[in-house]
Structure 1
């Protein structure tokens, strides 16, 4: 069985179009979405509609939570709080009450089993939408924060920096970001997991999308933080 995991779209529907087109070529059996659908991009409504059209399992990310209830002090750097609040208000205004309700009711964990292989997927950690676990963390830290007993493959998003590691016989992977990669590669990122009877294979897929078009969209829609977001897209980094 071939599974695709996508996340951190952040309202970048152009990038999501490219990723979904790539997925169509790979004979994928199931798609999973690990959150952060709308916030910080120029097309929040279309990004959400594309996700909903997949009719797949979707979980909530921290940015989805922000869209629903706003950004709270202490959740972002003090110097960014006012601007990120303005961005959230702009995103919220592009959505209707049904969209907000959809984001609000999303679960926070996915558990999937096939051929005895147990997969656990979540946005940031199994118990938090906000905790940050970077690729540079020690094995002990990753084991403590990300691994749950009985799970063979743990899959998360949130940090926008894809990687794959093996710790005590367990696979841990971060799938990166569709809409806002932070690893210096100006390509969307998502993950493929192949599960067979006696084996499995994990891979990170990078997909080209029209970065310049998205930068132009920020200007066209008068996004409140267009200049910074353009720089993030240009550099694929914060």
Structure 2
């Protein structure tokens, strides 16, 4: 069985379309999305339409729950000016979504379990199996990471949230993060010079009985088309978002 694991599209349908074309060429059996699919970028309704058309089961991420509810979990301290900009983008995004779109997002699940055959399961979530706000990084101590995974009988775990492709062994279990479809970036950079990457990241898990293989993939997308979507779509604070891709477009 081949499973394409995607995450963190963040309203970037240009990148999503490029990734799905690559996934189709890879001939997978299943696609699963780990959440934060809609909020942030210039194309929230287009991403909803593509997810729905492709029939992709999707986990609820923190950003999409906040998009629907406006409720702040308090997991991250956000400066007032950044909060104001986030609220502007949220208000705009809600105007782009039809009632049926909002119902579709509200149906995202806290976790998804995929049967890989031969008694193997893949547990899919956003931050951790119990909270979309939990952060699991390569630097997270093993004991803390194992505690975040909980007592599930699954041997394979996948989560998003950090926009960072990674794989690690935790006892007899394996955890991986497929990276971000719509907003990949290097964690080794200063905020003042922040730059987003001009590609979509995802992973393909191949399961054959007790044998497993994992492939991390990086798919370039048309940055000029994304810039046009920001400029033409009316998304607030578009110039600041476009600046994150400076030098990536022609």
TM-score band by shorter chain is over 0.9
Q: Is the 8 A contact 1:60 1:107 kept in 2?
A: yes
Which residue matches 1:216?
Answer: 228
Q: Is the 8 A contact 1:87 1:223 kept in 2?
A: yes
User: Which stretch has the larger CA shift, 17-26 or 115-124?
Assistant: 115-124
Cα distance in 2, alignment partners of residues 87 and 125 from structure 1: 26
Which residue matches 1:89?
Answer: 91
Q: Which of these residues, 141, 149, 164, is aligned with residue 144 of structure 2?
A: 141
Shift in Å, 1:219: 1.7
Cα distance in 2, alignment partners of residues 73 and 123 from structure 1: 15
> Which string of whole-angstrom CA distances, capped at 9 and with x for unpartnered residues, describes residues 33-79 of structure 1?
11112111111111110011111322211111112111538355133
Q: Which of these residues, 205, 217, 238, is aligned with residue 205 of structure 1?
A: 217
Q: Is the 8 A contact 1:71 1:88 kept in 2?
A: no
Cα distance in 1, alignment partners of residues 4 and 244 from structure 2: 25
1:102 partnered with 2:104: yes
The structure-2 alpha-carbon separation of the partners of 1:30 and 1:169, relative to structure 1 and needing over 3 Å to count, comes to same
Q: Is the 8 A contact 2:6 2:32 kept in 1?
A: yes
Which residue matches 1:111?
Answer: 113
Cα distance in 2, alignment partners of residues 109 and 168 from structure 1: 22
Shift in Å, 1:213: 2.0
Q: Return the TM-score normalized by structure 1.
A: 0.92
The structure-2 alpha-carbon separation of the partners of 1:217 and 1:67, relative to structure 1 and needing over 3 Å to count, comes to same
Which residue matches 2:33?
Answer: 33
Number of equivalences: 236
Which residue matches 1:150?
Answer: 153
Q: Is the 8 A contact 1:135 1:161 kept in 2?
A: no
SS of the residue aligned with 2:15? helix
Shift in Å, 1:148: 3.6
Q: Is the 8 A contact 1:115 1:195 kept in 2?
A: no
Which residue matches 1:132?
Answer: 135
Q: Gapped runs of 5+ residues in structure 2?
A: 187-195
Shift in Å, 1:169: 2.2
Cα distance in 2, alignment partners of residues 46 and 229 from structure 1: 18
The structure-2 alpha-carbon separation of the partners of 1:219 and 1:75, relative to structure 1 and needing over 3 Å to count, comes to farther
The structure-2 alpha-carbon separation of the partners of 1:166 and 1:149, relative to structure 1 and needing over 3 Å to count, comes to same
Q: Return the TM-score normalized by structure 2.
A: 0.88
Which residue matches 1:167?
Answer: 170
Shift in Å, 1:22: 0.2
Cα distance in 2, alignment partners of residues 51 and 111 from structure 1: 18
Which residue matches 1:48?
Answer: 48
Cα distance in 1, alignment partners of residues 247 and 110 from structure 2: 30
SS of the residue aligned with 1:72? coil
The structure-2 alpha-carbon separation of the partners of 1:71 and 1:229, relative to structure 1 and needing over 3 Å to count, comes to farther
